[in-house]
Chains A and B, each alone.
Chain A
Amino acid sequence: MNLTLKIWRQKNDKETGKLVTYPVKDISPDMSFLEMFDVLNEELITKGDEPIAFDHDCREGICGMCSMFINGRPHGPKRGVTTCQLHMRSFKNGDTIVVEPWRAAAFPVIKDLTVDRSAFDRIISKGGFISVNTGNAQDANNIPIPKPDADASFEAAACIGCGACVATCKNSSAMLFVSAKVSQLALLPQGRVEATTRVKNMVAQMDEEGFGNCTNTGACEIECPKGISLENIARMNREYFVANIKS
């Protein structure tokens, strides 16, 4: 099929960017969205132009690195997939596709479609862990964990840190991402020990990074490729409330 791509080109975080139009031809429906970008880039290189910079690595929906805002939606039109898992069979011949980077004050553009998401790492380093040093562990089965709790914790832990939740949110809030980590650990007995400080420190860092407030629009849950649920935000709010009463 033949398509018209409108792609955001931006040299670096200092210069302003703009949408540039590129026609692409003979795209197979079995191609992934990123493979279509490979084809386009190959063409640009042979022509002597600079290829489009975009983040990607695993190309199987697990590393969280790919991040394209496609026709107004992070990771494109399909629910429950990352950009790299999107296939061209989700589009039809003649379509115009607009591709932009994640947009949020806390995610500055590096180049073209690549943004800086290190704010997420800094939030994790403020509390997204259990403080146990190597070698301090007891036998794993000494802490029985009810299956429903273990499963719920796992579901929250499935977050890949892609930032689609932030990109789609009109407030650029990072609540879904932060609450997923808070929930994962809060649901486990091992994680309860530091629950109070964890939630307070992570929320403080989230605010410092310049992410917006959550006004419960629910857009994040819809766009999250890993199905992280809003329940996590509710749980984090409870944890936060309790943490503040305690202190």
Chain B
Amino acid sequence: MSKLDSKIPEGPLEQKWEKYKSSVALVNPANKRSLEVIVVGSGLAGASAASSLAEMGYKVKVFCFQDSARRAHSIAAQGGINAAKNYQNDGDSTYRLFYDTIKGGDYRAREANVYRLASVSANIIDQCVAMGVPLAREYGGMLSNRSFGGTQVQRTFYAAGQTGQQLLLGAYSGLQRQVGLGTIEMFARHEMLEVVNIEGKCRGIIARDLISGKLERHFGHAVLLCTGGYGNVFYLSTNAMGSNVTAAWKATKKGAFFGNPCFTQIHPTCIPVSGDHQSKLTLMSESLRNDGRIWVPKKQGDTRKANEIPEEERDYYLERRYPAFGNLVPRDVASRAAKERCDAGFGVGTSKMAVYLDFKSAIARYGHSKALTQGINNPSAQQLKDFGKLVVEEKYGNLFEMYEQITGENPYELPMRIYPAVHYTMGGLWVDYNLMTTVPGLYALGEANFSDHGANRLGASALMQGLADGYFVIPYTIGAYLSKEIATKAISTDHEAFVSAEKDAQGIIDKLFAIKGTKSVDHFHKRLGKIMWDKCGMARNEKGLKEAIAEIRTLREEFWKDVRVPGSANDFNPELEKAGRVADFIELGELMCMDALNRSESCGGHFREESQTEEGEALRKDEEFAYVAAWENKGNHTYELHKEELKFEAIKIAARSYK
């Protein structure tokens, strides 16, 4: 029998959550006051969980490494948030959102979790609007929707290209309200460095005050890791510079299993790399694929400017290959198709590693309808263009500006150049239906867990999951655990488990300073990134993965011999922070390659070259791989694989087709 118990409630899919919710144990208000919860990370999942739990009466401490909870990287999500509201009357429903998410995830997610996600999605929109999040509206005053990749309905709510910002600031306002009320104690500029377990249960953390450099011990009856994804293992990604895996990785060293580490999402529409100095990549929201058409020249190595290439010499390859979904195929499909064209020599721009995203037809189309609504029946070409631009500006203005700032090119006149980049990680800490990891009392929410997106996440579903976990799942499921903890008094942080965890954290810091090597942390991070991108990126194969594992091992040894960390530990020292994070990324990178090597099928974002159809489409092997790979850290860079079988009862598992 596997060590993994997903704790999925009995009963028909549609009733599991409702029934569970009304039967899960409750904690009475007086007891809640003496129960302490630690939340690490203040993004959508962390902020929404913290404020909800504090409102319920728990004593909450929140930690984030940024200078304010409002900076968490959820803020950078652009396009939108899905919800099965069916406001557009286009046939949407909880079931359809559930179905799209399972299919989009290439049948590698848990049905029960995804159904719950879809069913609370509508509540999220209600909650955010009540909190004053200014989502986009139509002239009648009702909420507006747009469509996103992988779906055929309009269920995405948005706030221009700043949806993540608006939702995060909403969740942050709820968090600050509780800070003001004294129910949440906030620790900004603090980084979690260790999980503390006592008698098999998670009982707190060790955190470093990033300004003074002091290590601190914090007790909690439960600890929630809401620390986001690990895309920065690739060095270049759309993640913020500080986004890291350290909290989750330390948890694996204390017994939490890591689920599907090789499931990473490469986002199809990012601004291409411009040179060696590049420190991060910038996403251009997927919502742009609603109106932008993707193409490359039909001729290999065409050096003409985009505007000089006539219509008939353009290959709109997504529309050609996938007529049913066209430019709105899911992310993994769009990314691979771009790589395929560039590898075959059809890429554009100086690096030839880019494709065009063109708004000319959209501008013309919108120009016509706007002219009509203005009562102009015979608009001039210039009027059409101006009107069209106005509409496009209203929809995507800030994205176009962002593009122009980075590239120096005006996307209203020239098509954007885009290329795929690492964006999101579907893998993460393994959790059960309660969002609890394999360590009792230790939870993982949002991108930090593995649970809802399978092998590929659909656009506008990350914001949905983060807020679902924080607002609507954990407030109920945590009761199942904490109701049994009411007799546990707060444990003194003088307990030996705290002392030894602090010693471990201090040991790593001392070791890093003692090396006094010759190369900067970034030097190692860039090399790790290159190995990962080349061999564990958009396409993977056995030979490459085996090489990557060997190379990462060498890199790890070199890092611990030759890294240079300047300054001192008792000081504000961003280089030391980076060093600790990169050390963990190196270890994680190795595990990712091991997982990718083990999974010799193609599914979602994980494309094994050995497993494809004759047309080059991904080929899943359901007989062999319909499971979650949960890796147990056995110490000394060894890992044991545990499998959680995925059962599909409501949905018939099928080849994923967007043709």
Contacts and interface: CB of A to CB of B under 8 A. Distances in A.
Contact of B166 (A61, A89, A154): A154
Contacts of B143: 140-141
Interface stretch (A92-100, A108-116, A213-221, A231-239): A108-116
Interface in A32-72: 32, 34-35, 38-39, 42, 44-46, 48-51, 53, 55-65
Contacts of A190: 129-132
A218 B76 CA distance: 29
Contacts of A138: 126, 130
Nearest to B572: A111
Given A58-B76, A118-B68, 19 more contacts: A30-B277, A35-B278, A39-B277, A45-B566, A51-B567, A58-B241, A59-B279, A60-B402, A65-B71, A80-B401, A110-B572, A128-B173, A131-B177, A132-B131, A140-B135, A145-B137, A147-B139, A150-B141, A190-B130
Given A58-B75, A65-B67, A110-B572, A129 B173 contact: yes
Contacts of A62: 75-76, 162, 164-165
Contacts of A42: 520, 522-523
25 contacts: A46-B564, A51-B566, A57-B66, A57-B71, A59-B240, A59-B241, A59-B280, A61-B402, A63-B75, A111-B571, A124-B173, A125-B180, A126-B180, A134-B52, A134-B174, A136-B130, A140-B85, A146-B137, A147-B141, A150-B136, A151-B134, A154-B136, A157-B133, A184-B134, A191-B132
Interface size class of A (residues with CB under 8 A): 35 or more
Nearest to B520: A45
B142 interface: yes
Interface string B151-187: 0000000011010111001001110110110000010
Given A31-B275, A157-B134, A188-B132, A121 B408 contact: no
B471 interface: yes
A128 B71 CA distance: 16
B520 A130 contact: no
Interface in A152-194: 153-154, 157-158, 160-161, 184-185, 188, 190-191
B591 to A, nearest CB: 26
Interface of A: 12, 28, 30-32, 34-35, 38-39, 42, 44-46, 48-51, 53, 55-65, 80-81, 85, 87, 89, 110-111, 114, 116-118, 120-121, 124-126, 128-141, 143-147, 150-151, 153-154, 157-158, 160-161, 184-185, 188, 190-191
Contact of B134 (A61, A63, A117, A154): A154
Interface string B399-428: 001100110100000000000000000000
Nearest to A115: B67
Contacts of B279: 32, 34-35, 38, 59
A25 B283 CA distance: 29
Interface residues of B, number: 84
Listed from nearest, the 3 A-B pairs whose CB atoms lie closest are: A144-B141, A125-B180, A129-B173
Interface in B471-512: 471-472, 475
B172 to A, nearest CB: 8
B127 interface: yes
B70 interface: yes
A64 to B, nearest CB: 6
A134 B475 contact: yes
Nearest to B77: A62
Given A65-B67, A190-B130, A146 B141 contact: yes
Nearest to B405: A85
Contacts of A147: 137-139, 141
B92 to A, nearest CB: 14
Contacts of B402: 60-61, 85
Contacts of B173: 124, 128-130
B188 interface: yes
Nearest to B140: A144
Nearest to B123: A137
A63 B73 contact: yes
A137 B129 CA distance: 8
Nearest to B516: A48
B24 to A, nearest CB: 15
Contacts of B200: none
Contacts of B523: 42
